Amino acid sequence: MTNPTSNAPQLLDLYRVMQRIRSVENSLIKLFADGEVPGFIHLSIGQEACAAGVITALEPQDTFATTHRGHGHVVARGIGLEEFFKELMGRAGGMCGGRGGSMHVSDMQLGVLGANGIVGAGIPIALGSALAHQLRKTGGVALAFFGDGAMAEGVLHESMNLASLWKLPLVFVCENNSWSEFSPTERQFVAEVGKLASAFGLGFEQADGNDVLAVADAARRSLAAARSGTPQVLEFLTTRVRGHFEGDPQKYRPEHEAAAMAARDPLLLAANKLRAAGTEPAVLEQIAADCEQQVWQAIEASRADTAPTFADAMADVYTKQHAAVSVGGN
Ligand SMILES: Cc1ncc(C[n+]2csc(CCOP(=O)(O)OP(=O)(O)O)c2C)c(N)n1
Ligand SMILES: [Mg+2]
């Protein structure tokens, strides 16, 4: 059994990351309700341990592709909060000039290959990145985040096949929150992701996705194996606390889930362990206060920024060639 006191410094660092994500997501609930964030947003409240635990195990040269529910991953990787909020609020200073929003957050300098609105579509992007790591001998590993909703997607199966065939430095990371939009996983997929892993000859590990230390340990093992040419699959069992998208009334969801999820809150679980190891409650309160302050400072800066001009909003949408074709009526 692990000694809680010896893990406390690592757990406190991970708690900080989880709290930062939670503060970002909580602020977005309010911003979205107030009409300050256009489009759809999918919040990762309840899944912070997956993001914090996996991302902490990455090396600087590693890369990852995330999903429509990707705020936690990019925040854990250290994406600039101002650029992030400006993007979500449709401002010119966002990392995509305010044109992409929540489902297009990215930062190539940090190896963040982008969020993605198409289920499963980040997986082959990560596969390509893993191939680039292998060919260029960067020593890096690529990660493909996906949800249980992507388990039945052909592109996952094809990517697993190629990863195994070419021995790519790739980790498939399934955040299984047991819901895909409004349907439970068992209504979507006949098998389990672990069985897919074994069918394709990939290493597999499953862990409690709300226990941040368990996530970090599993991620470190998988990354080490993938770095030496044995691609891996990780499955984290976690909880989607909010609706599929912000504003989803969730009438399809059994009422008892809320209490079960509250008891498994990853921040609560980590805070309990930290207190048991002697961390003063005031330390945790200060972390939350600091995160709030940083988040709202970034939001104020975003509010002060302007929307992109019409010309900037249209830039890079079509190449000249395509523009000419579309004008020509094709
Ligand atoms: C190819 C494709 N099919 C369907 C959709 C509609 N859609 C958006 S999110 C989603 C469910 C995704 O569930 P999961 O992968 O488990 O991720 P979660 O939302 O639980 O994080 C679906 C079906 C889509 N965006 N892309
Ligand atoms: Mg899901």
Query: Residue 320 pLDDT more than 90?
Result: no
The response to whether residue 13 sits with its C-beta less than 6 Å from ligand 1 reads: no
Given the CA of residue 146, which atom of ligand 1 is nearest to it? 15
For residue 316, name the pLDDT band (cuts at 50, 70, 90): confident
Compute φ and ψ for 43, nearest 5 degrees: -90, 150
Average pLDDT over residues 262-286: 97
pLDDT reported for residue 4: 57
Max Cα–Cα distance, the chain, nearest Å: 71
CA of 142 to the centre of ligand 1 (A): 21
The response to whether residue 119 sits with its C-beta less than 6 Å from ligand 1 reads: yes
Average pLDDT over residues 108-115: 97
For residue 329, name the pLDDT band (cuts at 50, 70, 90): very low
Compute φ and ψ for 12, nearest 5 degrees: -65, -40
Query: Residue 210: what residue type?
Result: N
For residue 55, name the pLDDT band (cuts at 50, 70, 90): very high
pLDDT tens, residue by residue, 194-234: 999 999 999 999 999 999 999 999 999 999 999 999 999 99
Given the CA of residue 244, which atom of ligand 1 is nearest to it? 19
pLDDT reported for residue 251: 94
CA of 119 to the centre of ligand 2 (A): 10
Compute φ and ψ for 192, nearest 5 degrees: -135, 155
* In the chain, beta strands by DSSP E: 63-65, 142-147, 170-176, 179-180, 183-184, 203-208, 232-237
CA–CA distance, 223 with 61 (Å, rounded to integer):
12
Query: Residue 328 pLDDT more than 60?
Result: no
Query: Residue 181: what residue type?
Result: E
Query: Residue 137 pLDDT more than 80?
Result: yes
Choose among 96, 68, 81, 116: nearest CA to 245: 68
For residue 292, give every residue at least 6 positions away whose Cβ sits within 8 Å of its Cβ, in sequence order, or none. 23
Indicate the angle between helix axes 4-33 and 48-56, nearest 10 degrees: 120
CA of 149 to the centre of ligand 1 (A): 6
CA–CA distance, 171 with 62 (Å, rounded to integer):
11
Ligand nearest to the CA of 145: 1
Environment class of residue 149 by beta-carbon count within 10 Å: exposed (0-12), middle (13-18) or buried (19+)? buried
The chain-wide mean pLDDT, for the chain, equals: 95
The response to whether residue 148 sits with its C-beta less than 6 Å from ligand 1 reads: yes
CA–CA distance, 141 with 92 (Å, rounded to integer):
32
CA of 22 to the centre of ligand 1 (A): 22
CA–CA distance, 238 with 174 (Å, rounded to integer):
10
CA of 82 to the centre of ligand 2 (A): 28
pLDDT reported for residue 327: 47
Instruction: Specify the number of domains making up the chain.
Output: 1
Choose among 139, 137, 111: nearest CA to 125: 111
Average pLDDT over residues 261-267: 97
Q: What percent of the chain has pLDDT over 90?
A: 92
For residue 323, name the pLDDT band (cuts at 50, 70, 90): low
Enclosing domain of residue 40: 4-327
pLDDT tens, residue by residue, 9-41: 999 999 999 999 999 999 999 999 999 999 999
CATH of the domain at 152: 3.40.50.970
Residue 170: strand pairing partners: 142
The CA dihedral of 245, 269, 142, 59, to the nearest 10 degrees, is 130
pLDDT reported for residue 39: 92
Buried b (16+ CB within 10 A) or exposed e, 20-32: bbbbbbebbbebb
The response to whether residue 101 sits with its C-beta less than 6 Å from ligand 1 reads: no
| Residue of the CA atom closest to atom 6 of ligand 1 | 119
For residue 322, name the pLDDT band (cuts at 50, 70, 90): low
Query: Residue 326 pLDDT more than 60?
Result: no
**Tokens read off for 273:** 């362990």
Three-state DSSP state, 267: helix
